[in-house]
Each structure stands twice: as C-alpha cells, then as structure tokens.
A and B are shown apart, each in its own frame.
Chain A
Amino acid sequence: MAYRLKVNGERRTVDAEGDTPLLWALRDELDLKGSKFGCGMAQCGACTVHLDGQAVRSCSIPIEAVKDAPITTIEGVGASAIGRTVQAAWIAADVAQCGYCQAGQIMSASALLASNPSPSDAEIDAAMAGNLCRCGAYLRIRAAIKLAASKLGGAK
C-alpha cells in the first residue's frame, strides 16, 4: 500500500506495508540513511527523528501511524536555525567518535532546544537519557548542547 509522507518538507510516497517502521521506510524506501538502526525497540535513540517537532524513535512507529505529521530527519534538520546551530556545535565540540549514534543525539538535542532554549544539566540529561552512545561521548554531548544553547541566545 502507498503512504504519502511529509519528509523534510517534501511529499514522498512509500510503497510498503502499514506496519513498516518509519525507520526502515526512511532508510530503505526513501534512501535517507542518516537515521540509524541500533536496537529496534526504542532503547537506544539511534533512529531518532522529529515527528511534528517532537523527538521520537522511528524504529517503533509504523508508517500507518504517521498520517499527516511532518517528519524531519538528520538530513533535513539543518534547514532550521536550531538544527543548524546544533550541528555546528557538534562540530565545534568535536563530539563524534565512531559517529554512529550522533544523528540521533543531534535530533534529540535539537528537539530539546526547540522546547527549552536554556536547559539545565538535569534537563539535558533527562532529554538525552534515551540516546545511548557506545563510544561514551556523553561529556562532549552535554558541552555541545550548552554551546548550541548559548549560540541561540538561551544559555544561562
């Protein structure tokens, strides 16, 4: 069955079963490989995208549930000032090691800053707790979020 999805500002058609997880529709049907597969059960955050501006785990959302909600992926997040700033902060803070988890981290961080421009340490930890990093880049992730917040004018 064909589903019309709004991905990164474009209408895209996905011809797949309704129970196909959004992650696999993005990766294999739409060739957007930035969202990553890590666990398939909402445990690791590697697949995080924005659905209606909220950070969600795309591995655990079937495409039939998406309906009209706009989807933003790591490939499109740079179109917003917040996304661009977070990406730049990730480069400036030199966060990535292997880099595999970082798309998901950036999506969670940019959703956090969109709703809370000046998060405290505890708020950062709470918002990022669903994103695992096997390489252990957590300290730089915290630093990068603070840097992005200050660039966006919201830092405390």
Chain B
Amino acid sequence: MSATVRDAGAGLSRRTLLTVGAAAGGGLLLGVGRAAAAGTAFQPNAYVSIAPSGQVSLIAKVPEIGQGVRTSLAMLIAEELEVDLADVSVVTAGDDMARYGLQLAGGSATIRLNYQAMRQAGAVGRVMLVEAAAKTWGVAASECAARGGKVTHTPSGRSLGYGALTAAAAQLTAPDPNTVALKDPAAFRVIGKPQPNVDNAAIVKGEPLFGIDFVLPGMLYAAYEKCGVFGGRPKSANLDEVRAMPGVKHAFIVDGDGDIDSLGGGGVAVVADSWWRAQKARRALKVTWDMDAAPDQDSARWEAMAKDLGPKTPAHILNARGDAAGALKSAAKVVEASYAYPFLAHATMEPQNCTALVKDGKVEIWAPLQGAYRARPQLKKICGAADKDITIHYLRCGGGFGRRGASDFVAEAAKISQMAGAPVKLVWTREDDIRHDFYRPGGWHNFKAGLDANGRLTAFTDHFVTFGRGEKFAPWADMEGDEHPGGVVDHLQYGYSLIPLNAPTGTWRAPRSNALAFAMQSFTDELAHAAGRDPLAFQLELLTPSRKLPRMPSDLPAIYLAPGMDTGRMAAIVKLVAERAGWGRKLEAGRGLGLAHWYSHFGYFAEVADVSVGADGVVKVNKVWVVGDVGGPIVNPAGADQQVKGAVIDGLSAALGQAITLEQGRVAQGNFNDYPLLRITDAPDIDVHFHVTDNPPTGLGEPALPPVAAAVCNAIFAAGGGRRRTLPLNPARTG
C-alpha cells in the first residue's frame, strides 16, 4: 500500500541527494534535496548548518503561514541529528527557486515531500559527527553515541560537543543519504511528541514578525484605490487636492496591465509619511473610472441563470460510465436535489501588504507570501528587471489559506515604489482585501440518483453549474470526473455548464474539495434517508469492498497529484468516528448527529457533527468529532491538533455565515460585520483523533476542512431541521 502512495509523486524520484561542505566560520553545512530530472543540476531543498558554537540552523524553504512548518521541519532534523529542538534555530529562506525548487506553502505538501529527506539529512550529519569524534579519539565509531548535541565515547565516558567536531566532520566523505541508517521510530524522542510552536515566545511579546510590521529606513506608506468593478480603469482623479493633504508626498494614477494577478485595471496611489495619512487622503479621492460595459456581474443574475441551466442538458460531459440514463429509468426510486454554495473570500487576519524598493533596475520585496512563483514573473514584467536583480524576502504571514500565492499586492507595491522613487509599504484595508480577492468560486449541483429495490445506489448524475468560459472552468471552479461517489457507482454521468465570470477566483483552503464535499456528502446522506437506511451503513456500503480506486487524469501539478481513494482506509475511519461520537444514540428533540467524510490532499477525514436547531431555524454546532488518517507518524501532534481544529472552525465559519455576493459588478461585503468569522462564543468542542497507519505521513493544513459542512447539514436533517441545500446556513445579519 505504501508503495502506491510513494509513487504518487507522478514519476518524481524519491532519491535524496546531499551536498556537504564547510560553512562560513568553520561549521558544517549540509544541503538536502531530491533528485531533479536527469541531467539537471541538483537543487537542495533545505540547508542545515552546525556552527562551531554548536548552534544548529535550518534554512527552511517554505514560508510560515501558521501551518507550523518552522516547528515541524526543525523537529525532523533534531530527531535524527540528536540535538534538542530548542537548539535548532530556523531561518526562513528568501525566494530562490533556482536553488530550492518550488517554494510554496500550499497543498498540505511540506511534510509529505520533506519527511524522508529531512530525516536523512539529520542522520548524515549525525553519522559524520560521530565519525569525526571517533577519529579524534582514535576509537571505533561503533563505540560512540550521539545525543543532545554531543558525541560520547561510551567505554571511556569522554565526550565532545558538535561545535568542536564540525571542522573535522567537514573533511569526511558523507555517507549516502539513501542508505544511511535512520532511527527506529520506536526510539523517537522528538517526532510524534507534541512540540510547541518555536515562535511562541516572540509571538506573545508582540515582536514585529509579520509582513505588515516590516520597516525600511526612509520608507513611505501607500494606500491604493481600485475600481470596485473588476477591471475598471482610473480615468482621472482630484490628485492636486489630495497632494495638498497633510503628510502626502505623492498621489498618482497607476496604469493597469490588464492582468488580474498583476496591476489589473490599475488604480490611484496615495503615498504619505504615515499609513494613516495616506489612507485619510485616499478617502478624499474622487476618481472617474472607465469600464468596458455596464457591469453585468451580479449574484442574483447568476442565481437565475443557474436555476435555468440546472434542469437542462449539461453543455459538457466530464465523465460518463455505464448507462446512467437507462439505470435511472429502471431504478426503483429516483432522488433529485440541487445544492448551492456561494463565493468566499479568504480574509486572512493580516490584510494583504507588501514593502517594495524598486531603484536603479533592482527590485527588493518584503512580503507575507505563501510563495513567489507568480510574483517573480510579474515583477520582471512590471519593473523590467532581470531575475538576478529581483530579491524577494518571505516574511511571516498572518494566515494564508491560499490567498498569498497571488501577486497582485506585490505588483502594486513594486509599481508604486518605482513611480514614487522611494521604498514604499503598501497596506490594504480590510475592505480592499475582501473586495479584491481571488474568491472561492460559487457553484450549483443538480443531482439525480437511482436506488434499487434494496436501497442500493445504482446510478448517480450531476449537472454542475459553475463559472468559466467555453468549456474551460474558471480557476479552481472545476471538479474531477470521479468525485466520490463517482468512483464507486456503476452508472455515472458528471456534466457541467459554465457561466462567464469577470471576478478573480483562486485557491481557498482545500480548493474544490471545500465545496464539493458539502454537495456530494449531503446528497449521499439524502440518498440514505430516501432508501430508508442508516447513513452510516449506506456510506460504508459505498466503500465496500475495500479497493484502491484509479485516479482520473488531471491538470494538477505532479506533486499535488494524489492516488485514487483507498476505500478501505476511508471505511476504517468512518467506522471509528461513528464509534467515538456514539452514532445511533438518542438525542433530545431538535438535536441530531450527522456524518460525512472526504478524501483530499492525500488525507482521509471522517467527521460527525452534533447540532441543535433552534425554533428560529438558527443552527448551533455543539460538538464535532474528527478522525483522520494521514499515515504515520504524526510528526507534531500539537501542531496537527491545531491544524485540524482550525480547519473545522474555518469550515464552520464558512458554512454558517459567509457569502461573497456581487451586486452590479461590485462585491457587496467589506468587513467582518457583513463577512463574519466564527467567534469564540460559537466555537464548538472538537474531538480529534488520528488513526495512525503505516502510510507515509502527509500534511494537514487542508484535508480536515471539507467534511464539516456536510456533517453539519446532515445533522440538521437528523435534528428535524429539514434538508439544507444552500450555504451559508445562518446568513449574516449586518451588525
């Protein structure tokens, strides 16, 4: 089983390569990475250095966005190198994909891609330090042991700290990382033990860690006004009036480039000696905007179009198997239902911001980014700079959730700095952030399913209505042809029709799955009830017999391509979560349990929600049970617990209250009063359990989120609150 998962890197070799050398100042430097394609230069993913002082430093290539990567990567090194976690300092690398390969905090991929290589690096370091000590003493390496940052000669009790051994170790030939002996997991002292976030001490003191806290000498501050209608271009503005306001140094129109991930339609920049002054002056702006046509992008209109399209034949077929039409005709019972979910914004707690210094053909950027693979090419274009003249520093992100791979705010800051001829920090307001996002696209699913006389699922069809042009889905609006239960039903048809869209869409925590799981798993529950069966038994039947489903061809980048679902792994955790939640027990009137599961980002999750429905129809979630199978070991159980609970709360936030709507081309929401986040008062108790299996470990930022909305809706039905087929459940009351 594990072999299948390992090969899922779609042809990427898992061989680890290593470079060893002397670090500046006499230390030992290890560069670790995976073999690139044949004939290309080796690119280490991470560097570990041991200074003559004994200080261990890890250069992590993946930015920190709250997923705890600085902690978990340090743990892998500490374990195999035999040093205390407290003695490993982690430095987040700058953007340098030529050196590190893809640098991206996304796709829950970091642990999956680095677990083995980081351990191997630590082990190579340990073996070399032990050998250096043995040589120094003239004894056999087998008589020496490494522990707590030093090597001890066991028979004599002599010991030397790593710092004293680095120079000698750097002279040795490194062992092959692929065959170096790794520690027996039973002997782990760090991995699998809860470790607190390495940045806790700095965070609780309010140290300036985040992008928005960054300061450059002589820096100015920018506020930036864009057209509320996507793509609108500034024609003229009362710039002279604004320039005369206190603290304002520059006010100018920035021309757009027509690229929504860059300067888009452009805007009006106000640059001042403090952000508040820039923002205040911005409020005095009067801008005339140029728009191509009367704005027709409107949620109410889309709603009507989707209702009209739903019953019609899909414009395009995604996947068809067997004879769905025939099977529906001969079914003992046919169930039909339509599900809808809205657009969502990311609303990272730290609004988008970026500090830029563009001068003399050189570009330097300091920004909270999940990755710069989109920003760098934009900077080349906008600033006319060569790759080598662009430096991008990754600063800590106040949340990412898929928003901070985009480059719009980076492009804006760079252009404003270039035009102002000064270092500039651009800070968006919350309203800018909510109105100029790359949204989770909304969608409508029109299901039809057939049940036989025994209440077994025989046919399943979906006419998915979402956004895009021609047959091309808008970014991240798509679905795969085998979304569960598409992989297990005999007669299947998944088709789709698209509504043209001008608003930007993008990745939002657990892209696609975050919406699809709601629709698919709610309707599956609906089918169980229509069949007069227990949803648990019905769901398990679909997963039986245990089998590994084939994977559909997909456009996803190779490193994100997961193998098809292993229904046995899912069935195991579905049973387990039902057990933990006491599935089948009697609850008081108005209260119910709901079950859902979903497989995404290599991770298996099953969840049960305990929900009460008030007389006013308001939904309250009392408790959520979560069981996950993300292989084993769980590198940092403390961080894993946080990621899962955070994902559940995030999923609840969206399911209960969030919707982005467009009214005549403009986003109607702007701040947390009308785009609410779940508050502590509504945070339910969450029971998290990991079903540890011997599959390779995978990441956790995303896969716990998708099942929660369906679990809640299924619980509402069980509570007698009716079938809820539209999100959000408790739409925002503006307050």
Contacts and interface: CB of A to CB of B under 8 A. Distances in A.
A75 interface: yes
Given A34-B207, A75-B205, A90-B204, A134 B349 contact: yes
A73 B207 CA distance: 12
Interface string B243-257: 000100000000000
B351 A28 contact: no
Interface in B654-680: 671-673, 677-680
Given A37-B427, A39-B430, A43-B673, A100 B204 contact: no
Interface in A29-85: 29, 31-41, 43-44, 46, 73-75, 78
Contacts of B592: none
B648 A102 contact: no
Given A24-B276, A102-B204, A33 B429 contact: no
B206 A74 contact: yes
A135 B677 CA distance: 10
B354 to A, nearest CB: 14
Interface in A99-156: 99-103, 106, 124-126, 128-129, 131-142
B206 A34 contact: yes
Interface in B378-400: 396-400
A97 B68 contact: yes
A132 B347 CA distance: 11
Contacts of B172: none
A99 B209 contact: yes
Nearest to A142: B680
B66 A97 contact: yes
Nearest to A130: B679
B160 to A, nearest CB: 33
A135 B66 contact: yes
Contact of B642 (A25, A97, A106, A131): A97
A19 to B, nearest CB: 8
A100 B351 CA distance: 10
Nearest to A78: B205
B346 to A, nearest CB: 9
B200 A38 contact: no
Contacts of B499: none
B452 interface: no
B648 A136 contact: yes
Contacts of B671: 39-41, 43
Q: Which of A87, A96, A140 has the most CB of B within 10 A?
A: A96
Given A28-B274, A97-B646, A99-B66, A131 B680 contact: yes
Contacts of A91: 196, 200-201, 204
B618 interface: no
B464 to A, nearest CB: 29
Given A34-B207, A41-B673, 15 more contacts: A21-B276, A24-B274, A33-B213, A36-B212, A38-B672, A44-B349, A90-B203, A91-B204, A96-B197, A99-B209, A103-B204, A126-B681, A134-B349, A136-B653, A139-B685
Interface of A: 16-17, 19-21, 24-25, 27-29, 31-41, 43-44, 46, 73-75, 78, 87, 90-91, 94-103, 106, 124-126, 128-129, 131-142
**10 smallest A-B Cβ distances: which pairs?**
A34-B206, A98-B66, A100-B398, A136-B649, A74-B206, A138-B683, A136-B646, A99-B203, A24-B276, A33-B208
